Amino acid sequence: MDNLIDILKERYSTFSKGQKLIARFIIEHYDKAAFMTAAKLGEEVGVSESTVVRFASEVGYDGYPKLQKVLREVIKSKMTSTQRLEVSSSRIDSESALKTVLQSDLNKIRITMEEADPHNFDAIVEEILKAKSIYILGVRSSAALASFVGFYFNLIFKNVRLVHTTSVSEMFEQIVNAGEGDVVLGISFPRYSKRTSTAMEFARNQGATVIAITDNEASPLAKCSNYSLYARSDMASFVDSLVAPLSMINALIVAIGLKRKDQIYNTLEKLEKLWDEYEVYDKGDQHNKLGLD
């Protein structure tokens, strides 16, 4: 998107009057333009829909949807929370929020499933299974995903370290010994965490196998990883949609668990005894759920 804005600025003097109106609006309001139809953008700046479509071709895109896609992909990492809130307010009204957001999440899971590479997924499973140590990185909104992975990986492996920090230096301190034979799993979605990508790059330089869980190949995490799992994320509002990423993580945990079924069974048997001994769960509630008095 930075490149597109630069192009529009450089070529601005060569545009016609109508094209200048479009270019100026995109430069100044790219966050809004990314979610406008050609007709809506034309109406906003006072030109026809066909002028907007021709403008997209003029600046090198095969139609307006391609230009719009470029804007949408890159602004995910550029927009502030307040910008995202403003855009979502124009796209979703309070009465339709439930249906709109759920439908959007369903679509992201569907697209994630269609774009998934089973061979790449299987290769990642094998890399994790053979790792000497596993480091899990995730901060800000991705911290919840990292904790979820860490909780279940700790039931499967003895060598898991969940890295939660508030600074780059602390993150480095926790992964400083990651090296050959280890796996570093980094999770981040727009707006991407600089801390996570920097730490992953460090781990790769140390010889560790680095795996990213992110949204697309243009992600800074993907660029510094040996393997990547992609799951669609979006900004329906100021809240990050992490439904598809969580679904991908579920699949990863289940696939690994199936390979370590006997080990997990023994672990869970031990845990069940401990849970009973220390009354972790309310048996009364369990009986009621089973329909027992």
Residue 251 lies in domain: 109-259
User: Both 122 and 199 in a single domain?
Assistant: yes
Give 209's DSSP letter: E
**Which residues make Cβ contacts (< 8 Å) with residue 88, sequence separation at least 6?**
235, 236, 237, 238
Residue 117 lies in a domain: yes
What is the rounded distance in angstroms from the CA atom of residue 116 to the CA atom of residue 82? 32
Residue 114: inside a domain: yes
pLDDT tens for 156-167 read 999 999 997 767
- pLDDT classification of 282: cutoffs 50, 70, 90: confident
Confidence of residue 85 (pLDDT cuts 50, 70, 90): low
Residue 139 lies in a domain: yes
What does the pLDDT read at residue 244? 94
Instruction: Kindly state whether residues 22 and 161 are assigned to the same domain.
Output: no
Classify residue 157: in a domain, yes or no: yes
39-55 mean pLDDT: 93
Which pLDDT score, from 0 to 100, does residue 89 have?
A: 53
Are residues 28 and 146 part of one domain?
Answer: no
90-141 per-position pLDDT tens digit: 555 556 778 878 888 888 899 899 999 999 999 999 999 999 999 999 988 8
d(CA 259, CA 263): 9
Tell whether pTM > 0.75: no
Of 199, 236, 206, nearest in space to 220 by CA: 199
Report the domain count for the chain: 2
- Is 103 within a domain? no
Task: Evaluate whether residue 274 is within a structural domain.
Answer: no
Nearby residues of 33 by Cβ (< 8 Å), 6 or more positions away? 25, 26, 41, 68, 71
Give the pLDDT confidence score for residue 291 in this predicted structure.
46
| Whether residue 162 is found in the same domain as residue 47 | no
Same-domain status, 44 and 185: no
Asked if 24 and 146 sit in the same domain, the reply is: no
By the 8 A CB rule, do 104 and 236 touch?
yes
Rounded distance between C-alpha atoms, residue 137 and residue 89, angstroms: 32
pLDDT tens string 185-232 = 999 988 788 889 999 999 999 999 999 999 888 889 999 999 999 998
Number of H helices, E strands in the chain: 16, 5
- Can you give the CATH number for the domain in which 127 is found? 3.40.50.10490
Same domain as 251, residue 195: yes
Q: Please check whether residues 36 and 150 belong to one and the same domain.
A: no
Residue 61: C-alpha distances to residues 155, 256, 293 (Å): 50, 43, 68
Strand-pair category, 134-137 with 183-187: parallel
